[in-house]
Structure 1
Amino acid sequence: MARSSMQVLSKGEIEQVHQTSLKILSEVGVKVDSPSVRVLLEKGGARVDKKKGIIYLDESLVTGALKTAPKKVKICSRGGRDYSIPEQGVQLISPDGQPPAIFDVSKGQKRRSVLKDSIDLAILCDALPEVDYVWPPVVATDMPSSRSSFYEFLVTMAYCSKHIQHGAASAEEARFQVEVASAVLGSEEDLKKRPIFSDVCTPISPLRYDQGEAEALVVLSRAGVPLVHLTMGIAGSVSPVTVAGTLAIINAENLCGLTMCQIASPGAPSIYSSFSGVSDLKSGFFVCGTPEGVLMDTAAVEMAKHYGLPSCAGGPGTSARSLSAEAGYQSAMSTMAAILAGSDLLVGLGGLDRDAMVSPEKLVMDCELWRWLKRLRVGVTVDEATLGFDAIKRQGPGGVFLSDPHTLKHMRKCLMIPQVTSYHSPGEPNYAMDELIEHAKKKTKQILAEHKPPLLSKEVAIRVGAVAEKYGILLPDGKQIFPHA
């Protein structure tokens, strides 16, 4: 059985991108806003312009980092679903990550997301089998802004048993995450053996790390937490307008992040990543779900494979602001490309409005899309059983296979059974988008009413609660968030 695939770069073009990225790192450099991280990098072999705060990485330093970076990365969970990527036939997907708004399908408009939404979405993601790992889908805007991300990490750990992907805006937040996860597993050594969360480290394109991100990177690398170097090139805005030029920035930022990790802690797990797009040159706004953005992310996956690194790419991204045809075709295009390119991780379930908003109903519909597109990726199995000669012989010319034993034996394995999509017969009324949304809405409500996520033991909850209290992560009434069995 041949597997479908997609490739946009030749070997020669991959080498050109690589060489240009090395020139960027050695001649243009990367601005790192943290004095302590600049000192660390200088000791590790980087050249540093102390006045400008720019670090320069020579080819030998980058090459050395590529040698020490592990070629497989563990993606574990407190619920026991563990992976080691890249893994043949394994592609994992998560929801969109931490926009500050949620689409209220009943009113047809967006609203600010709150902590209750974070909890509901964690439960929804825990229940949906298609969701493999969870980037907290929304921001808890009703919590103190300087601490909202702490709350989101905590409630996702509490109400979801799957691997968590998060972000840390400071060394303090990184330490908080490490302490919470270590409390769940038992110790920091246990966390290194089974990292139940990973972190997204996002440079500010082009070529800059703010102080908090850089210092968090060091803390997390030393704790053995996998780091996803999520670059967000925007063609015509913060990167060259060409796909190739943006790819050079994407690649340089990924190589820089990986090198920083290896200097901080040789052997630290890193994942190559891009979630890039273009700028609407009329407004200057970022636009996702475009052909150019898809090409950028597809090419980035190819660069990751060239280096032998795990990869993460954008999934069902869209610029649409509602559950519309635009959301459907943009999400399908970007997800299909990432699947065919062979990205190990994808992110974006439920995202709307350039990833500035999440819809629980779209998350459910995107899971249907994910099932269908993965079926295309698997391809066709041709063997004696699937060819069905005996069934063809039984039915003969003009026969009907509906009740044939071959159909009954193979139908569940061979046919996708929709969960929110409706297959209408010709005589039924016209199929409307509203019907699909209603099905997704009904399924969402049913899950939230019925699903009980596996809670941690009282002993573990007490340990996690102590960490939360230490960092001041309590509800307004002073109560702790973390429930227990």
Structure 2
Amino acid sequence: MTKTTMSVLSRDDKQKIHQAALSILEETGIKVESPEVLDMLAKAGAKVDQGSQRAWLDERLVSAALATVPKKVAICSRGGVDFSIPDDRVQLISPDGQPPAVLDLEQGGKRPSTLKDLKDLVVLADALPEVDYIWPPVVATDMPSDRSTYYEFLVALAYSSKHIQHGATSPEEARFQVEVCAEVVGGRDELARRPIMSDVCTPISPLRYDKGEAEALVVLARASVPLVHLSMAIAGSATPVTLAGSMAVIAAENLSGITMSQIAKPGAPGLYSSFSGPTDLRTGVFLCGAPEGILLDSAAVEMARYYGLPSCAGGPSNSSRSLLTESGYQSGMTAMASILVGADMIVGLGGMDRAAMISPEKMIMDCEAWRWLERLRAGIEIDDDRLALEAIKRQGPGGLFLSDPHTRKFMRQDLMVPQITAHHPQTLTKPSEDELLMYAMRKRKEILASHKPQLLSGEVTGKIDEIAKRHGIVLPGGGRIFEHA
């Protein structure tokens, strides 16, 4: 069976982007705001200037890194559902990652997200079968700002047994994440073998790694945690206005992250990634869901394949602040591109407002759309049984296939049954957008009332609580971070 696919780059295009990226790394270089990481690069043979915090990576270093970075990456979970990517049969999707606001339909609109919102959204994502991994869906803005990412990581780990993806803003935070996950799986060696977490390492476009990000990358690479080298190019402001120029920067940023990780530990797993888009030159804001973003992220997935690496890309992205037409068509187009171009990991369920807000109802509706897109991606299977010649002969001209045994045999294999949206007879009124939202709201409430996540044991949570306390992570009133089984 041939799957439905799309492509935006030719072989020659990919070679030109690669050569441009090599030129950028060798002639322009990258800024790394960490003396320790610059020393590491210098010892590996990179040209380094500590005064300007610059490093220049030549083709030899980049090629050596591409030779040692694994071409398969394990994406595992404490619940025992494990994947190895790339795999043409598997595309993994998660909620949007850490916007600072939620769309609260019951309270009338956008508001800052809280620790309770975080827990509810993690439980919701854990229950939705379409969700494969969890990027903490919101920022806990009611927690201390210098520790909020710690709470977000812990809540995701506590209330979902799915794979956790996060980020680390300092080497301390990276070590904390490794220590906690090693406690869950039974040691650091087991965590390296079955990584239940992955980390997003994001340079500041163009071509700059701040001190905390660079040093966290090194810690995580040495622990064999899969690293998502995420470029967030903004064409027209942080990167060139031409898409080709932005693609070259995206490639250079990914190759620089991969090179640093392989110098830190040859064989450290990594993914090539982009969540990029254009600048609205009228206002200066970043546009999510724009066609240029679709092209940039799709090109990045193809560049990942060019290097033989797994990929991660943005999914149902949009710039809308309401759950109306703009949100729907932008989310649909961006998600369709990511699945058809073959991204291995996709992020964005529920995201809105240029990744600054999330809606639990949209997460539910995005899951429905994701099922549609999976069916589109699957294509048409053609074999003797599915050609249905015997059924056609039985029914003959003017026949009806509703009651034919062939229909009963294949109806759930070839046809996707919608769960939220519906195909209604012409005599019935189709549900309005408001009715769809009401359905999604009811489903959210039902899930939160009934779903019981697979909790960690009391022994493990007790040890994690002690680790958390050493890092200053305590709940108001001295309560425990975790519920436990």
What is the TM-score normalised by the length of structure 1? 0.99
CA drift at 1:100: 0.4
Residue 66 (structure 2) aligns with: 66
Please show how residues 277-288 of structure 1 align to structure 2 within 5 Å.
277-288=277-288
Tell me the equivalent position of 2:227: 227
Residue of structure 1 equivalent to 2:321: 321
| Counterpart position of 1:169 | 169
Corresponding residue number in structure 2 for 1:407: 407
Q: Could you say what secondary structure the match of 1:42 adopts?
A: helix
Residues in 2 aligned to 1:87 and 1:427: alpha-carbon distance in whole angstroms: 44
**Which region of structure 1 is more displaced relative to structure 2, 158-167 or 402-411?**
402-411
Partners of 1:311 and 1:122 in 2: how far apart?
Answer: 24
What is the letter of the counterpart of residue 232 of structure 2?
M
Secondary structure in structure 1 of the residue aligned to 2:52: coil
Deviations along 1:75-104, whole A, 9 cap, x unmatched?
000000101111121110111100100011
1:160 corresponds in structure 2 to 160
Does structure 2 conserve the Cα–Cα contact (< 8 Å) formed by 1:233 and 1:275?
A: yes
In structure 2, the residue matched to 1:365 is 365
Question: 1:121-270 counterparts in 2 under 5 A?
Answer: 121-270=121-270
More displaced 10-residue stretch of structure 1: 461-470 or 273-282: 461-470
- Looking at structure 2, the residues matched to 467 and 422 of structure 1 have their Cα atoms a distance apart, in angstroms, of 49
Q: Which moved more, 1:250-259 or 1:412-421?
A: 412-421
Q: For residues 163-210 of structure 1, what are the alpha-carbon distances to aligned partners after superposition, in whole Å with 9 as ceiling and x for unaligned?
A: 000010111111111111011111111111110000000000001001
Distance 1:463 1:407 in 2: 55
Q: Deviations over 1:200-246 (max 9, x none)?
A: 00000001001110010011001110000110001101001111010
Supply the AA of the counterpart residue of 1:195.
Answer: P
Q: Which moved more, 1:6-15 or 1:358-367?
A: 6-15
Give the RMSD, CA atoms, in angstroms: 1.0
Distance 2:156 2:38 in 1: 33
Give the match's secondary structure for 1:328.
Answer: helix
**Counterpart amino acid of 2:62?**
V
Indicate if the aligned counterparts of 1:166 and 1:198 stay in contact, CA closer than 8 A. Answer: yes
- 1:31 aligned partner: 31
Which 10-residue stretch deviates more, 342-351 or 412-421? Answer: 412-421
Aligned to 2:78: 78
1:425 is aligned to 2:425: yes
Secondary structure in 2 aligned to 1:200?
strand
SS of the equivalent of 1:103 reads: strand
Are the aligned partners of 1:422 and 1:436 in contact in 2 as well (CA < 8 Å)? no
Query: Displacement, 1:335?
Result: 1.0
Q: Is contact 1:24-1:252 (8 Å) kept?
A: yes
Q: Please state whether the residue corresponding to 1:255 is helix, strand or coil.
A: helix
Shift of 1:430: 4.5
Equivalences, count: 485
Deviations for 1:389-422, whole angstroms, at most 9, x for unmatched residues?
2222222222221122211221112211111112
Which deviates more from structure 2 when the two are superposed, residues 407-416 or residues 192-201? 407-416
Q: Which runs of 5+ in 2 are unaligned?
A: none
Write the letter of the residue equivalent to 1:391.
A
Corresponding residue SS for 1:398: coil
Distance 1:411 1:106 in 2: 39
Q: Which amino acid aligns with 2:249?
A: I
What secondary structure, in the 3-state scheme, does the structure 1 residue paired with 2:478 have?
A: coil
Aligned to 1:356: 356
Paired letter, 2:358: V
Cα distance in structure 2, aligned partners of 1:143 and 1:364: 27
Residues 443-470 of structure 1, C-alpha deviations (whole Å, 9 max, x = no match): 1111111000011112212221221122
Q: CA deviation at 1:108?
A: 4.3
CA distance in 2 between counterparts of 1:453 and 1:371 reads 23
**Greater mean deviation of Cα atoms: 380-389 or 25-34:** 380-389
Percent of aligned positions that are identical = 63
For the 8 Å contact 1:163–1:197, the answer to whether it is kept is yes
Identify which range, 352-361 or 407-416, moves more after superposition: 407-416
- Residue 90 of structure 1 corresponds to 90
SS of corresponding position for 2:256: helix
State the 1:107 CA deviation.
4.0
Q: Is the 8 A contact 1:73 1:269 kept in 2?
A: yes
User: How many angstroms apart in 2 are the aligned matches of 1:42 and 1:72?
Assistant: 29
Q: Is contact 1:276–1:293 with CA below 8 Å preserved after alignment? A: yes
Secondary structure, aligned partner of 1:229: strand
Give the equivalent residue in structure 2 for 1:337.
337
Whether contact under 8 Å (1:75, 1:196) holds in the other structure is: yes
Q: What is the identity, as a one-letter code, of the residue corresponding to 1:29?
A: G
C-alpha displacement of 1:16: 0.8
Per-residue deviation, 1:3? 1.4
The separation in 2 between residues aligned to 1:431 and 1:107, in whole angstroms, is 23
Letter in structure 1 aligned against 2:386: T
For residue 454 of structure 2, give the secondary structure of its aligned residue in structure 1.
Answer: coil
Structure 1 counterpart of 2:463: 463
Shift of 1:424: 2.0
Q: Following the alignment from structure 1 to structure 2, what is the Cα–Cα distance between the partners of residues 357 and 183?
A: 32
**Equivalent residue letter for 1:397:** P
String of CA shifts for 1:251-309, please: whole Å, max 9, x gaps: 00000000000011111001000000000000000001111110111111111111111
Q: Give the SS at the match of 1:361.
A: helix
Separation in 2, partners of 1:12, 1:385: 41
C-alpha contact 1:201 1:217 (8 A) present in aligned 2: yes
- The one-letter code matched in structure 1 to 2:217 is L
What does residue 302 of structure 2 align with? 302
